[in-house]
Structure 1
Amino acid sequence: MNQAELIDALAEQTDLSRATAGKALAALIGVVTEALKRGDDVRIAGFGTFGVSERGERRGRNPQTGETITIAASRGAKFTAAKAVREALNGS
């Protein structure tokens, strides 16, 4: 499902216009992104938790030259599904 399909599904299930559903989705994405930038977790009961994963500096290898390089430390987003979602996916 892509973003347009998600907006269509939201609009259909909530009786909102497609434009309003799109604004709501954009607002949700913006709020979650800002919280993650601050290092906060976002917990949605029954769905899951969005969090920040810290990756330390590490050594890697350039596949073209074979040269050893240092890969900088970085932060990434992670998602942990709630128990209800895991059970729904696994047919429990």
Structure 2
Amino acid sequence: MSLNRTDLVSAIAGKSGLTKTDADAALSALQEVLVESLSAGEAVKVTGLLSVERVERAARTGRNPRTGEEISIPAGFGVKISAGSLLKKAVSTK
């Protein structure tokens, strides 16, 4: 089972006392802050919950899975998400 955005908004509204509209606005604001911060190269850390950061990927040689031909993959950026202590504890106790 997984939560989709609608389920998550409902859960946030129920736990916080916010309306679903306000909870959805808060979730949208979090999304915007994450995107803007990562685009600027800034890490986002919520102590105990998670940290999200932009990481550099070096150029490398890969292989086309259909043809087996070697291809050149240029350098770029990726996103690294690390679970905080609260998340790690939550999944290790069940």
Query: TM-score, normalized by length of structure 1?
Result: 0.90
Unaligned runs of 5+ in 1: none
The one-letter code of the counterpart of 2:22 is T
Q: How far apart are residue 91 of structure 1 and its match?
A: 1.4
Aligned alpha-carbon RMSD (Å): 1.5
| Aligned residue number for residue 41 of structure 1 | 43
Residues 1-16 of structure 1: pairs in structure 2 closer than 5 A:
1-16=3-18
**Deviation readout 1:40-91 (Å, 9 max, x if unpaired):** 1111122121111211111011122222110121211111111222122111
- SS of the aligned residue for 2:68 comes to coil
Residues 1-92 of structure 1: pairs in structure 2 closer than 5 A:
1-91=3-93
The one-letter code of the counterpart of 1:28 is L
Identity over aligned pairs, percent: 36
Equivalent-residue separation in structure 2 for 1:25 and 1:14 (angstroms)? 13
Query: TM-score, normalized by length of structure 2?
Result: 0.88
Aligned length: 92
Give the 4+ runs in structure 1 shifted more than 6 A.
none
Equivalent-residue separation in structure 1 for 2:34 and 2:67 (angstroms)? 39
